[in-house]
Structure 1
Amino acid sequence: MSEASAQVSMSDAERKVRVDLAAAYRLVALFGWDDLVFTHISARVPGPEHHFLINPYGLLFEEITASSLVKVDLDGQKVGDSPYPVNPAGFTIHSAVHEVREDAGCVMHLHTPDGTAVATLEQGLLPLNQTAQLAMADLAYHDYEGVALDHDERPRLQRDLGSKGTMLLRNHGTLTVGPTVAQAFTRMYFLERACTMQVRTLAMQAAAGGGLYPTAEPVIEKNMQIGRMGLGQVADALVWPALIRKLDRVGPGYKD
């Protein structure tokens, strides 16, 4: 790691989380989900200290490396030496989740066009297809309260999220939680995919006219039940290794 001198006491466990989190940032850029230097993905550092890793403020997601990630405490303040600044306001949403969810090993928050569009629709995500039905099984909503600068919002966000793994932040964007980076990323993939499918479906309906072909209620419930079972093992054992192989082919520098 190019900045190993600033991380002399790093454990192997922290190193692994750093590499996975840096990979997630690069993959978000690769999928076109990034928003200049804004939005964040955070990951808990293994250990009892309640420390977290987050992106250095000002770097594009495609520039982030394992060593450039900044360690912060639950208030978003830097822990240890790092040449990079952080955006404490950007950690407000993440800290709310990490504070109350022991399973929140990783929290992803995005501002994608399709995710934000669906979050802004009054009806939210609709059960229009299989992907949406799987995502809806674990979906929560949180009303917009302005740019996330106020820590007073955290209890309401915590209440609205509850034990769910995905959330639409009204008029704002998407959020996922997972015990691992792999699981948070996979949940985000399904949520974002469902939102894109909905945006395209409704656009085609508006252009062509006619109704939407319905899915029978028992089928929707069946798919939602599958969604409630989660994709943990599939994400960790199959999806993430495949994504890492892809990233290693197109840009392995994230490990630095």
Structure 2
Amino acid sequence: MHIPSLQGQVSPEEWQLRVDLAACYRLVALYGWSDLVFTHISARVPGPEHHFLINPYGLMFDEITASSLVKVDQDCQKLHDSPFPVNPAGFTIHSAVHEVRPDVTCVLHTHTRAGVAVAAQRCGVLPISQQSTFVLASLAYHDYEGVAFRPEEKPRLQADLGQANFLCLRNHGLLTVGRTIADAFLSMYVFESACQIQVAAQAGGELVQVDPAIIAGTARAMQVQTGGMGGQFAWPALIRKLDRVDGSYKT
């Protein structure tokens, strides 16, 4: 399909955000975390207006481009002419987070098999891998209340998330937040890996748990491992990987 380019019609800052968010959608598809068209990744547009970018509802994640992303307000109402619909119900979780976390640029939500499997376990994320220690250092849980489209659920979700960067949505899936799109993506990569490892390990013998004292020092360990750069440490390599596969997300 032909989508007219918005480059030059939006600010340079918004255009770069669009490119990075489109790349994030493509990477989620590339790593096998998408659920047809049924999850979302949102990003706050720079400025005081509380505007956001979200996927055009109905496109697969590997179809999304910088110009096809739709700019919406806090109520998920479209703010520019776009041939694509948006999904206000799907934005409920995202708007709840953006509303109370001004430190967050990106909210990334998935329904992967491993993520939902761990979200369905009473124990939640177990401290049984290096990956899990990074998650457990900033993890919160939110109980399932049905498909998340009711505004009355938002205060409870906000309270449960607090200042955490990882949220396990019981019986539903995984959510990460980040100061940047790169941060949210790297956090989801670690979260998803921890869940895949847990499900695989539970099929074997007795599990060995990590000492809680190690988990307490994980935030510092992550800072050292990424040179204090967070997700930006891995993002350029991920972009190069994506460009080798398909660079059309930048259009």
Q: Please tell me the TM-score bracket, short chain as reference.
A: over 0.9
Deviations 1:199-239 (A, max 9, x none): 0000123xxxxx22343343343336645999661311x21
Residue pair 1:94, 1:107 contacting (<8 A) in 2 also = yes
Other structure's SS at 1:175 match = strand
Match of 1:65 in 2: 65
Q: In structure 2, what is the equivalent of residue 3 of structure 1? A: 4
Corresponding residue of 1:171: 171
Asked if 2 retains the 8 angstrom alpha-carbon contact of 1:135 and 1:227, the reply is no
User: What SS does structure 1 have at the residue aligned with 2:167?
Assistant: strand
Alignment correspondent of 2:244 = 249
Greater mean alpha carbon deviation, residues 227-236 or residues 149-158 = 227-236
Q: For structure 1, list consecutive stretches of 5 or more residues without a partner in the other structure.
A: 206-210
Distance 1:128 1:31 in 2: 23
The change in CA–CA distance for 1:198 and 1:64 in structure 2 (over 3 A counts) is: same
Q: Does 1:145 align with 2:145?
A: yes
TM-score, normalization by structure 1 = 0.92
- On the 8 A contact 1:136/1:224 being kept in 2, the answer is no
Counterpart amino acid of 2:101?
R
Q: Name the residue aligned to 1:190.
A: 190
How many residue pairs were aligned? 249
In the alignment, the residues of structure 2 paired with residue 44 and residue 224 of structure 1 have an alpha-carbon distance, to the nearest angstrom, of 25
Is 1:218 equivalent to 2:202 in the alignment? Answer: no
Is the contact between residue 133 and residue 227 of structure 1 (CA under 8 Å) also seen in structure 2? Answer: no
Give the match for residue 208 of structure 1.
Answer: none
- How many angstroms apart in 1 are the aligned matches of 2:225 and 2:117? 25
Quick one: distance in 2 between partners of 1:224 and 1:250? 33
Secondary structure at the aligned position of 1:196 is classed as: helix
Secondary structure, counterpart of 1:203 in structure 2:
coil
- Please name the residue that 2:76 is paired with: 76
Letter of the aligned partner of 1:3 in structure 2? P
Q: Give the whole-Å Cα distance in 2 for the aligned partners of 1:44 and 1:230.
A: 27
Deviation at residue 8 of structure 1 after TM alignment: 6.0
* Structure 2: stretches of 5+ with no match in the other structure: none
In the alignment, the residues of structure 2 paired with residue 135 and residue 214 of structure 1 have an alpha-carbon distance, to the nearest angstrom, of 14
Letter in 1 for 2:94: H
Determine the structure 1 residue equivalent to 2:117. Answer: 117
Question: Aligned residue for 2:229?
Answer: 233
Instruction: Tell me, yes or no, if structure 1 residue 157 matches structure 2 residue 152.
Output: no
Deviation at 1:122, TM superposition (A): 0.3
Describe how 1:123-138 pairs up with structure 2 within 5 A: 123-138=123-138
For residue 48 of structure 1, report the CA deviation from its aligned partner.
1.1
1:62 and 1:153 mapped to 2: Cα distance?
Answer: 31
AA partner of residue 5 (structure 2): A
**Aligned CA-pair RMSD:** 1.9
CA distance in 1 between partners of 2:223 and 2:117 (Å):
24
Equivalent residue letter for 1:235: G
Task: Look up the match of 1:53.
Answer: 53
**AA in 2 matched with 1:42:** S
Letter of the 1:51 partner, please give it: H
Q: Give % identity.
A: 59
Which residue does 1:96 correspond to in 2? Answer: 96
Kindly provide the amino acid, as one letter, of the partner of residue 92 in structure 2.
Answer: T
